[in-house]
Amino acid sequence: MSRPLPAVLAFDVFGTVVDWHGTIAREVDALGLGIPGSEFANEWRAGYAPAMDRVRSGELGWTRIDELHRMILDDLLAKHGIEIDEAARRRLNLVWHRLDPWPDTVAGLERLRRRFTICTLSNGNLSLLADMAKHAGIHWDLILSAEVFRHYKPDPETYLGVCDVFGIEPARMMLVAAHRSDLRAAAACGCQTAFIERPLEYGPNIPNDTRSDPAFDMHARDLVDLADQFGCD
């Protein structure tokens, strides 16, 4: 790396650290809702960005991701003519709190944490991220969320907010993510970037581009590979 070693690694969570698609698909299949779990998971996720845009536009006030997820879920169930009671809807909506980690996640993060301060930088709300960390066995140094900054990624207030929390210049913060748009937004704020390959983020039937991009400071197959590249024990 030609840039200074970062002091803080901030991690995107959905897709980078945890397997949202696989977890949701398995749960939906187990419920027997009459729609393939993989299809349902991707439709649910597809509503995520438009829902956040409703907040950005002022149509909705500040809204936690749990509440946006529930709005999208209710619309999906109605679209597919699926009838489940309120208790079942609440439990299904909370699947985002119990997403499973990728196989490399826990070991990779533990190694990275020995050398760096590691935190989340997710649009997920604080309670969601705390529950997810407990479920997955992940030990963050700090959980940061869009909820803290009242801005969703990729708004610059999120990336610069992490730098402010830790009292560091943007060049000393590295965003670690599997999403190019997230990384480009962080880079535009002066932060370092590490792209993580997650070829199965959207399941086995939807190709995910994992090619290297010279615009990013680092490129790794997974979090264990990132730890290897940093020389972490």
The 10s digit of each residue's pLDDT in 160-193 is 999 999 999 999 999 999 999 999 999 999 999 9
- Same domain for 218 and 146: yes
Q: Are 162 and 190 in contact (CB under 8 A)?
A: no
168 found inside a domain: yes
Residues ≥6 apart with Cβ < 8 Å to 87: none
pLDDT at 80: 97
Same domain, 203 and 140: yes
Residue at 221 is within a domain: yes
Q: How far is the C-alpha of 115 from the C-alpha of 174, rounded, in Å? A: 13
pLDDT, position 3? 79
Number of domains in the chain: 2
CATH of the domain at 50: 1.10.150.240
111 with 192, same domain: the answer is yes
Which pLDDT belongs to residue 1?
Answer: 47
Instruction: Assess whether 121 and 163 both reside in one domain.
Output: yes
Are residues 158 and 74 part of one domain? no
pLDDT tens across 66-117, in order?
Answer: 999 999 999 999 999 999 999 999 999 999 999 999 999 999 999 999 999 9
75 and 147 in a common domain: no
CB proximity list for 125: less than 8 A, separation 6 or greater: 64, 65, 66, 145, 146, 147
pTM of the predicted model, to two decimals? 0.96
Considering the domain architecture, whether residues 28 and 12 belong to the same structural domain is answered as no
Domain that holds residue 108: 8-19+101-230
Are residues 215 and 172 located together in one domain of the fold?
Answer: yes
Give yes or no: residues 89 and 170 share one domain: no
> Are residue 110 and residue 216 in the same domain, yes or no?
yes
Task: Tell me, yes or no, whether 116 and 210 share the same domain.
Answer: yes
Tell me if 61 is assigned to some domain: yes
- Listed residue (159, 198, 160) closest to 177, CA to CA: 198
Residue 2 pLDDT: 65
Provide the mean pLDDT of the chain. Answer: 97
Question: What is the residue-wise DSSP string for 159-180?
Answer: HHHHHHHHT--GGGEEEEES-H
Residue with tokens 């809204």: 63
What integer is the mean pLDDT of 120-142? 98
The answer to whether residue 211 is domain-embedded is yes
The stretch 48-64 carries a mean pLDDT of 94
Q: Which of 67, 98, 129 is the last residue of a domain?
A: 98
Residue 169, domain member (yes or no): yes
Question: Locate tokens 């002022």: which residue?
Answer: 58
- Assess if residue 58 is contained within a domain: yes
Give dist(CA 104, CA 171) in Å, integer: 27
